[in-house]
Structure 1
């Protein structure tokens, strides 16, 4: 086999390995919505307390990202992945002896969230090193792992709960995550043949110059709002369906529908946004994100008005289409707007902001759910968050890349305020 062919297959090995790590680590995180009602009944938790599990899990996932950068620089990508896989597996296995919801906060919320981040983030770093021109397409293929995993895993989790109880189900989920061990070895061997660096650059860890950029901070806030809107849907979708009299298996299938639509759209969207033009039209990734966020808000806003399974499925398909349209664009656009050289720092700061929004939104909305005893409120709130995020994405793009033509008064005013604040800083 020639050296060129060997290098090509090594790249394929890295992509497949990163896909499988995402499949095995992110899949269980996305299936935790199935346990919402279980935690309420078995551990006598309120809606606020049960939603805190997903809130802590997603918040910890993003909060851990800057720590992972430091770990990768000292221990290397492979060791960081192994540590993350071990923490996530241990957390899920310990969950089966949980005496209270507070114990679940630690085992599922903190352990699964932080462990998944430690295992997945180095994979994105390797993919970013190896691929350049087709990076959006490859990132979308890698993120498909969680979408593919969510199709069977949501249904399996409900079947495991019915067959072995929720404790046995979480133990089986821990065994599922443990399968990432040989996959990590497989991926790192491929990365070694591609001559990818196995450690992060220590010089870029603490570069905080982006904190002086108002457009960057607005972009991070928009990402936080967008992620919070998706976390709310992930937390309350299955529980809302159950409150409408839909049985648990059919309700769990809604997450599988989202995964199926995601699988179809992500490769297509990834290919399109990798292009500079389509015919006479210029492909603008920031505008695509804005449109996706508006579609998402429209779909989610319609969800409380769907009171039967068929209606809920239609709305869920529209919501899934918006998620697939957005794909892995937030990370790609981050590099486009603020430069690839600052990507390690910008990713870390963005993750902290996204983590804060993801952790705060479900329990705050859970207070309203407990007070008004309705599962419609989370979707109204989610729609507002995603709509605001979409508008912010477009404003940031217009501020960072002003057109040669005269800009609208609103955009011009916002830009002037940002530039004024930047000068003062």
Structure 2
């Protein structure tokens, strides 16, 4: 096989082949996230065919999402690397690039939701799944677009490179099976791992990780239970699929417009706050959902929830990059999406168990809403505490820095001396003709 040409660049190009990377990531999100969301349309079919309750049937969707985020299997081998590649190719336009790339999830949902319902009616659920499987094979084309790029910050520090190079030259004279060679390999591996995953010890990333757990718990059940909930309040099958389409198309608008807006100069420094706002708004939508029991009320809900869902999904990589930097973005995103796995696994079955136990969707939706609101509040509180500490440290440093005090006192003394000189010059000018203070 021919070697893959690795593009070298000192900084992200913010264009060029990067737009092909965005197109590839766009197709990846269609083939992964959109197809996964359409499992909601299969929910009633599975429940009827296998004669199981809500909790048991929900495991199908939750296992798909969990394995995608948890392992190196299936969709996971496509989804996380594609998203990380967009972050490598873009810096100044990162939010916009992610907005376009992640909009594939919404576009795919908009198109696939009615198509899947039609396929189920024509070929039953087994035939519909086979056709979806053939469509997902397009991931092979997406992978062919991913061209690696090496940035300046990706290189190891000179000290580490010198140590590894020196050790390698020393161990070349030794048998490859000797203990020294194994020791060198272990040392280099430890160095690489330490550099790659040092962000795990950052307090900001730990708070983000905890917040992601609550956010992921809340966001998953809606895509499983929106169609069953709509059917339970008297909406027809086609109208329920239409709600998923609406959610998908508004998701696209949220992806692109929020990415574009947060790239503007007025909001570029507030992308973190925009992320918190979007997550919190989705939580509020959940709290209102039990009161919406007709199609005219469920349509605005789908619009609002879909918009802010697309908004915060776009900003997850941006917020992660702000915390860990571009160099560790790929690994950090892997950890962030890995953290989605456990909530994705347990939240739909828990929501199904609550529906089976209470006979209503209210408790399940309220729990999801409060979970997302708590995720937003936790991140906001952590950022507030950090800024307060930073302000306090700056104040202490200003008070305790003798150089700063001397400079301030010197500036004051200089200004006083200058005023006295000016007054003295003015008094002399009035008494001595032709005298100038300058």
Scaled by the length of structure 2, what TM-score is found? 0.72
2:17 matches 1:10: yes
Aligned-partner SS, 2:74? helix
Corresponding residue for 1:125?
84
1:334 to partner: Cα distance:
1.5
Aligned residues: 346
Q: Distance in 2 between matches of 1:174 and 1:283?
A: 42
Corresponding residue for 1:157?
116
Corresponding residue for 2:274?
288
1:318 to partner: Cα distance:
1.5
Corresponding residue for 1:323?
309
Alignment of 1:16-415 (within 5 A): 16-64=23-71, 67=72, 114-185=73-144, 187-188=145-146, 191=147, 204-205=192-193, 207-275=196-264, 277-278=265-266, 283-402=269-388
1:237 to partner: Cα distance:
0.8
The answer to whether the Cα contact below 8 Å between 2:253 and 2:307 also exists between their aligned partners in 1 is no
1:50 to partner: Cα distance:
1.0
1:170 to partner: Cα distance:
0.5
Taking a change above 3 Å as real, the CA distance of residues 219 and 7 of structure 1, as seen in their structure-2 partners, is closer
The answer to whether the Cα contact below 8 Å between 1:286 and 1:393 also exists between their aligned partners in 2 is no
1:37 to partner: Cα distance:
0.9
1:217 to partner: Cα distance:
2.1
The answer to whether the Cα contact below 8 Å between 1:297 and 1:383 also exists between their aligned partners in 2 is yes
CA root-mean-square deviation: 2.8
Q: Distance in 2 between matches of 1:232 and 1:303?
A: 13
Q: Distance in 1 between matches of 2:108 and 2:120?
A: 18
Contiguous gaps of at least 5 residues in structure 2? 1-12, 157-188, 394-438
1:9 to partner: Cα distance:
4.7
Bigger Cα displacement from structure 2, 348-357 vs 55-64: 348-357
The Cα offsets for residues 201-235 of structure 1, whole Å up to 9 and x where unpaired, read as 97655654444444422211211211221101111
1:28 to partner: Cα distance:
0.8
The answer to whether the Cα contact below 8 Å between 1:220 and 1:354 also exists between their aligned partners in 2 is no
Q: Distance in 2 between matches of 1:181 and 1:350?
A: 25
Corresponding residue for 2:429?
none
1:376 to partner: Cα distance:
2.7
Taking a change above 3 Å as real, the CA distance of residues 325 and 183 of structure 1, as seen in their structure-2 partners, is closer
The Cα offsets for residues 76-126 of structure 1, whole Å up to 9 and x where unpaired, read as xxxxxxxxxxxxxxxxxxxxxxxxxxxxxxxxxxxxxx4112112222232
In terms of Rg, which structure is larger? 2
Aligned-partner SS, 1:115? coil
Q: Distance in 2 between matches of 1:291 and 1:252?
A: 28
The answer to whether the Cα contact below 8 Å between 1:269 and 1:327 also exists between their aligned partners in 2 is no
1:163 to partner: Cα distance:
1.1
The Cα offsets for residues 304-339 of structure 1, whole Å up to 9 and x where unpaired, read as 111111111112212112213323212211221233
Aligned-partner SS, 1:245? coil
Taking a change above 3 Å as real, the CA distance of residues 299 and 259 of structure 1, as seen in their structure-2 partners, is same
Taking a change above 3 Å as real, the CA distance of residues 349 and 369 of structure 1, as seen in their structure-2 partners, is same
Q: Distance in 1 between matches of 2:84 and 2:320?
A: 14
Q: Distance in 2 between matches of 1:309 and 1:297?
A: 21
Taking a change above 3 Å as real, the CA distance of residues 243 and 270 of structure 1, as seen in their structure-2 partners, is same
Taking a change above 3 Å as real, the CA distance of residues 29 and 241 of structure 1, as seen in their structure-2 partners, is same
